Amino acid sequence: MSLRCPEVTLAVLLFAALAGCHREERRFSESLPASTPLDSVVQSDIRPGGTPLPHQPDFIYETNAYAVSQGKQLYEWFNCKGCHADGGGAIGPALMDDQWIYGDSPQNLYATIVEGRPNGMPSFGGKIPPQQIWQIVAYVRSLAGQVRKDVDTSRADHLFTRKSEQSMASTEPRASSPPPQPQ
């Protein structure tokens, strides 16, 4: 389903316009979504009853353009680029693709950032305040095309490395196991 289809675009337009209220809010002290307890982090796609990942409830940060754009800024400031590059991955896995080792839901991503993960992902818990972690989570999801196009950020004011998040295709998240080898 791409934006080339007029009906879809029309629907997106209408929805986008009416959703303007929430998309455009600039909230400086945010209510924090509940984070995930450790035992529900998905680490393997071997699961009784089949493989689809559980349906995730609405994540308010990723329908808010300001939060996603702040997340993009923090991605740069806290040097996520050092391992994940501009989303394409280097020492760390790519964030722009559809492979999610530890789950793609906002709660999973939050847990990943807070706890750290084997093979080099540092634990940022206690270092990055929760609100900023949620903003980064929203941005990471936008890298993988999980965020609505009108909320997505556009190009940054630096060297042009890849298409903007707005122009990326949405991907269906798939669990990935075992984790891909470092490049």
Between 70 and 112, name the residue whose CB sits nearer to other proteins: 70
End-to-end CA distance of the chain: 31
Element (H, E) at 175: strand 174-175
Which residues, in sequence order, are bridge partners of residue 107? none
User: Which of helix, strand or coil describes residue 121?
Assistant: strand
Residue 121 CB, shortest distance to other proteins, in Å, is 16
Between 98 and 150, name the residue whose CB sits nearer to other proteins: 150
Between 105 and 132, name the residue whose CB sits nearer to other proteins: 132
Residue 22 CB, shortest distance to other proteins, in Å, is 9
List Cβ neighbours of 5 (8 Å cut-off, separation of 6 or more): none
Diameter of the chain measured on Cα atoms = 47
Residue 54 CB, shortest distance to other proteins, in Å, is 30
Strands (E), 65-133: 99-100
Spatial separation of the C-alpha atoms in residues 138 and 70, rounded to whole Å = 9
Residue 47 CB, shortest distance to other proteins, in Å, is 36
Between 78 and 176, name the residue whose CB sits nearer to other proteins: 78
Residue 93 CB, shortest distance to other proteins, in Å, is 22
Give the interface with other proteins as residue ranges (CB under 8 A).
3-4, 6, 9, 12-13, 16-18, 20-21, 23-26, 28-29, 65-66, 68-70, 72-73, 77-78, 126-129, 131-132, 149-151, 153-160, 163-164, 166-167
List Cβ neighbours of 78 (8 Å cut-off, separation of 6 or more): 124, 128, 136
Spatial separation of the C-alpha atoms in residues 168 and 108, rounded to whole Å = 22
Between 122 and 182, name the residue whose CB sits nearer to other proteins: 122
